[in-house]
Amino acid sequence: MTDLPATILWRDPGLLLLDKPSGLPVLADRSGIPCLWDALTAYLAEDGLRPLAVHRIDKGTSGLLMVALEPRTQRALSRAFEEGLVGKWYAAISHGLLPCGSLDIDLPLAPGRKSRWRIAGPREAIGLDVAASPKRYRLEVEVNDPQAKAARTRIRKVSQNDRHSLFSIRLHTGRTHQIRVHLSWLGAPLLGDHLYGRPGDPDQSAARLALHCHRLQWPDLGDGVDRPRTFRSPLPSDFRALLPA
């Protein structure tokens, strides 16, 4: 039987839930290292099945990943994502401190250079609305970029020291690199993030990207399968090693 480089947490006729390690790309990339999708395709082929994409997490991100095993489940999950009915929670460690314990980051994203994303407005136009509850970062100018996409992240500070912060984060939209871009543009890039951070800074250096999807929640998919609606993934040891003292 084909071995999988990720842990299976749940499997039923329509859904497979995996716990992916950091450093494993979901799809093939320019690095040429083996990807999860190829291993998963070979693994499921032994049962006459094929994986169907529902969502992705970055190569450096660890944690929960859903894969559909039949088209009806894929359609139901895709619709739930589009309607904002899937809850996604992450743990993240940043190099840098933010002024609030809990806040919303409501900053649209647009394509940047070299496969990066950026805030769809000037950095100096980012303001903190202290009258909102919770406090909210937003652009204080009109967004004119036709490629801009709404992006909203809610973060809660769990702990910090004088340099690093641990956040619990819920995504309300699922844009590419959303958490990484939002925190970087606010001056608190993730540990180990060489794409949006400062790779030469020893205080930001880490053996892995400090981002872990620790909880997923979804609605009834209407397929008659009795499955849990919420799954959790504990923080892996290489993430815990980065936690602020």
Active site residues: 58
* Intra-chain end-to-end CA distance of the chain, in Å: 42
Whether 61 and 96 have beta carbons less than 8 Å apart is answered as no
Number of C-beta neighbours around residue 101 at 10 A = 13
Whether 166 and 172 have beta carbons less than 8 Å apart is answered as no
CA distance linking residue 186 with residue 180, whole number of Å: 10
Helix (H, G, I), strand (E, B) or coil at 30: coil
Helix (H, G, I), strand (E, B) or coil at 91: strand
Strand partners, 129: 136
Q: Which of 47, 55, 49, 58 is nearest to 210 (CA)?
A: 58
CA distance linking residue 201 with residue 95, whole number of Å: 10
Structure tokens at 82: 């589009």
Chain centroid to Cα 27, Å, comes to: 15
Chain centroid to Cα 191, Å, comes to: 14
Chain centroid to Cα 192, Å, comes to: 15
- DSSP one-letter code for 23: T
Instruction: Write the single-letter amino acid at 237.
Output: S
